């Protein structure tokens, strides 16, 4: 694994990354752990959208217990969903709103086909929020959920956004427990994920610094993070975690719903959780309208990409890298992971740098993944 160590060090030396923690594992255990840039392996990261897979697992636990189903209408559990308008266009500076003709389901929330999108990749949402002084979802303000409109009819396409936040509210309502308590009891404790938390209290000394790439190409330290004690913990963004903790979550997936003798999902539920749930649709390229936060996102150009209940899926082999059926996603501050069941490989690659998937991180992550597969026996 010396080649991987060298790649991590080179990425920091050239300024592609401020620091990095990278790990790999298989179903039976860890296979690699490395760092560069003076960071410790147990550093705490703002994992942002890596929270989504955990929120999806929380919902899948309820599906496994037959308390909800994939096709349960969202409004059946959260009547406020029916109050969301569909933004169909603009009449000058006035938004044109309509009542949606289709009903969003739990499956739509899990696959980002519900109709609610982030303003980072949708100019209409960005304009609408500014016009109506609506907070962003990452604020933890409940007004954000009520204020974000639909931008397409549920089920008709993929659109990345607040679906996981609504899904977390579904879990709270059905289970009768706040989402932080539910995740602690049902996911973090069983998987021994002791450093995956909604509040940073007691771990501030291990919190990794965050940076933004300036227009000149330098790295400028910034202050950011999920709000403490918010109106709601959004399962799209609210967690902190470490590379070792998240690897336990990924290895549970490689072990088909179990880890160290603890089973979270039945065999049937696990199969559903990881299967393509897009009903014939595919994930589309995400065009950024907020370049300081994210570059355009097209992770597998030219390859078929779908979405399971919990993860992005690439449906063809990626040359020199992961195989067909691999699952993955990432957090806005460039914390990344993938799970390749056919190769028995899971990996995390974590730094704290904006914008998302900017060229430096993309080069380093690509080199890391290629080195992992090149080193495979």
Q: How wide is the angle at C-alpha 35 spanned by C-alphas 330 and 358, nearest 5°?
A: 40
Handedness of CA 244, 137, 274, 59 (dihedral sign): positive
Active site residue 52: yes
Catalytic choice (48, 118, 160, 240)? 160
User: Phi and psi of 150, rounded to 5°?
Assistant: -75, 145
Catalytic choice (52, 128, 163, 321)? 52
User: Phi and psi of 263, rounded to 5°?
Assistant: -100, 130
Active site residue 233: no
Closest CA to 310 of 117, 70, 141: 70
Closest CA to 362 of 326, 325, 336, 329: 336
3-state secondary structure of 168: helix
Active site residue 114: no
User: Phi and psi of 72, rounded to 5°?
Assistant: -65, 125
Distances (CA, A) of 324 to 140, 257, 312: 36, 20, 12
- The answer to whether 348 and 250 have CB atoms below 8 angstroms apart is yes
Q: The tokens of 166 are what?
A: 């609504």
Closest CA to 57 of 165, 171, 145: 171
- The answer to whether 246 and 239 have CB atoms below 8 angstroms apart is no
User: Phi and psi of 172, rounded to 5°?
Assistant: -60, -45
Cα separation of 234 and 225, whole Å?
13
Closest CA to 147 of 165, 160, 170: 165
Catalytic choice (49, 114, 241, 326)? 49
- The answer to whether 233 and 140 have CB atoms below 8 angstroms apart is yes
Distances (CA, A) of 241 to 9, 189, 270, 308, 310: 23, 14, 23, 23, 18
Count how many Cα atoms sit within 13 Å of the Cα of residue 175 in the half-sphere of its side chain.
23
Cα separation of 204 and 186, whole Å?
25
Count of positions (residues) in the chain: 377
Residues tagged active-site: 49, 52, 160
């Amino acid at each position: 694994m010396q080649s991987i160590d060298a790649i991590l060090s080179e990425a920091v030396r050239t300024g592609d990354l401020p620091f990095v923690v990278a790990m790999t594992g298989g179903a039976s255990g860890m296979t690699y752990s490395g760092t560069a840039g003076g960071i410790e392996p147990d550093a705490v990261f703002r994992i942002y959208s890596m929270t989504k897979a955990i929120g999806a697992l929380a919902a899948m636990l309820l599906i496994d217990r037959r308390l909800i189903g994939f096709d349960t209408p969202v409004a059946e559990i959260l009547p406020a969903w029916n109050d969301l308008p569909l933004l169909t266009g603009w009449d000058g500076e006035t938004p044109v709103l309509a009542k949606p003709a289709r009903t969003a389901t739990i499956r739509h929330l899990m696959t980002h086909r519900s109709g609610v999108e982030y303003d980072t990749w949708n100019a209409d949402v960005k304009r609408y929020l500014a016009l109506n002084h609506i907070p962003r979802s990452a604020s933890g303000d409940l007004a954000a959920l009520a204020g974000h409109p639909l931008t397409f009819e549920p089920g008709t396409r993929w659109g990345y956004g607040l679906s996981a936040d609504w899904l977390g509210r579904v879990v709270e309502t059905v289970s009768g427990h706040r989402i932080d308590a539910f995740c602690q009891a049902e996911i973090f404790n069983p998987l021994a994920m002791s450093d995956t938390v909604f509040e940073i209290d007691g771990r501030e000394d291990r919190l990794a610094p965050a940076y933004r790439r300036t227009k000149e190409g330098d790295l400028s330290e910034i202050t950011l993070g999920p709000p403490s004690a918010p109106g709601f913990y959004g399962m799209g963004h609210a967690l902190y975690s470490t590379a070792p903790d998240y690897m336990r979550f990924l290895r549970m997936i490689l072990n088909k719903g179990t880890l160290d003798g603890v089973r979270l999902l039945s065999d049937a539920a696990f199969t559903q959780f990881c299967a393509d749930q897009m009903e014939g649709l595919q994930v589309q390229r995400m065009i950024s309208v907020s370049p300081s936060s994210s570059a355009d996102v097209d992770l597998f150009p030219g390859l078929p990409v779908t979405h399971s209940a919990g993860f992005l899926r690439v449906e063809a082999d990626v040359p020199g890298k992961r195989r067909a059926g691999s699952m993955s996603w990432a957090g806005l501050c460039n914390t990344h992971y993938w799970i390749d069941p056919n190769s028995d490989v899971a990996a995390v690659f974590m730094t704290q740098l904006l914008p998302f998937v900017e060229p430096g991180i993309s080069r380093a992550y690509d080199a890391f993944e290629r080195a992992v597969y090149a080193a495979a026996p």
